[in-house]
Structure 1
Amino acid sequence: MSEPVRFLLSDMDGTLLLPDHSLSQRTIDAVRSLREAGVLFSLATGRPPKAMLQTIEALGVDLPTAAFNGGTIVHPDGSFLVAHYLPATAALTTLALFADQPDVEVWVFSGGDWLVKDPNGPMVPREQHGLGYPPVVVESFEPYLLRIDKIVAASNNTELLIELEAQLLPKVDDQAQVSRSQPVYLDVTAMKANKGEALATLAAFLGVPLQQTAAMGDGGNDPAMFHVAGLSIAMGQAEEAVKRQADVVTGTNAEDGAAQAIERYILKR
Structure 2
Amino acid sequence: MKVIAIDMDGTLLGNVHEVTAENAKAVKEAQQLGVNVVIATGRDEKEARSPLKQAGIICPTITVNGAQVRDEDGNVLSSYPLLKEKTRHVFDVLLTNDIYFELYTNHGTVTDNYDKAIQAIIDFFHAANPAQDINTMQQFAKERFETGAISLVASYDELLEQEDTEILKVLAFSKDEEKLSKTRAQLHDIDGLAVSASAPDNIEITHKQAQKGLAVTAFAERLGISMDEVMVIGDSFNDVSMFKVAGYKVAMGNAEQAIKDLADFISKSNDEDGVAFAIRQKLSHMSR
The alignment's TM-score, normalised by the length of structure 1, stands at: 0.89
Name the residue aligned to 1:221: 238
Q: Distance in 1 between matches of 2:180 and 2:141?
A: 17
Name the residue aligned to 2:83: 87
Instruction: Give, in angstroms, the shift of residue 230 of structure 1.
Output: 0.9
CA displacement 1:220-249 (0-9 Å, x = unmatched): 110101111110111122222222122222
Name the residue aligned to 2:255: 238
**2:238 aligns to what SS in structure 1?**
coil
Q: Distance in 1 between matches of 2:94 and 2:39?
A: 29
CA displacement 1:62-95 (0-9 Å, x = unmatched): 4431111110001233321000011222211211
Kept after mapping to 1: 8 A contact 2:24/2:56: no
Q: Distance in 2 between matches of 1:192 and 1:251?
A: 31
Name the residue aligned to 1:123: 120
Q: Distance in 2 between matches of 1:33 and 1:161?
A: 41
Q: CA 1:161/1:258 → structure 2, altered by over 3 Å: closer, same or farther?
A: farther
Kept after mapping to 2: 8 A contact 1:85/1:147: yes
Kept after mapping to 1: 8 A contact 2:37/2:60: no
Q: Distance in 1 between matches of 2:171 and 2:242?
A: 20
CA displacement 1:165-205 (0-9 Å, x = unmatched): 233212x23x1111011223311011100001110111122
Q: CA 1:241/1:128 → structure 2, altered by over 3 Å: closer, same or farther?
A: farther
Q: Distance in 2 between matches of 1:180 and 1:90?
A: 19
Equivalences, count: 262
Kept after mapping to 2: 8 A contact 1:21/1:130: no
Q: CA 1:183/1:144 → structure 2, altered by over 3 Å: closer, same or farther?
A: same
Name the residue aligned to 1:155: 174
Kept after mapping to 2: 8 A contact 1:34/1:267: no
More helix by share: 2
Q: CA 1:267/1:176 → structure 2, altered by over 3 Å: closer, same or farther?
A: farther
Kept after mapping to 1: 8 A contact 2:19/2:52: no
Kept after mapping to 2: 8 A contact 1:128/1:134: no
Name the residue aligned to 1:114: 109
Aligned with residue 169 of structure 1, among 188, 198, 210: 188
Q: Distance in 1 between matches of 2:59 and 2:263?
A: 25
Give the 5 Å matches for 1:136-215.
Answer: 136-145=151-160, 147-158=166-177, 160-170=179-189, 172-173=190-191, 175-215=192-232
**Deviates further, 138-147 or 90-99:** 138-147
**2:65 aligns to what SS in structure 1?**
helix
Q: Distance in 1 between matches of 2:95 and 2:34?
A: 48
Q: Distance in 2 between matches of 1:30 and 1:128?
A: 31
Q: Percent identity?
A: 29
Q: CA 1:28/1:199 → structure 2, altered by over 3 Å: closer, same or farther?
A: same
Name the residue aligned to 2:34: 38
Aligned with residue 105 of structure 1, among 100, 106, 109: 100
Letter in 2 for 1:65: T
Q: Is 1:54 aligned to 2:50, yes or no?
A: yes
**2:258 aligns to what SS in structure 1?**
helix
Name the residue aligned to 2:125: none
Q: CA 1:230/1:58 → structure 2, altered by over 3 Å: closer, same or farther?
A: farther
Q: CA 1:128/1:83 → structure 2, altered by over 3 Å: closer, same or farther?
A: farther
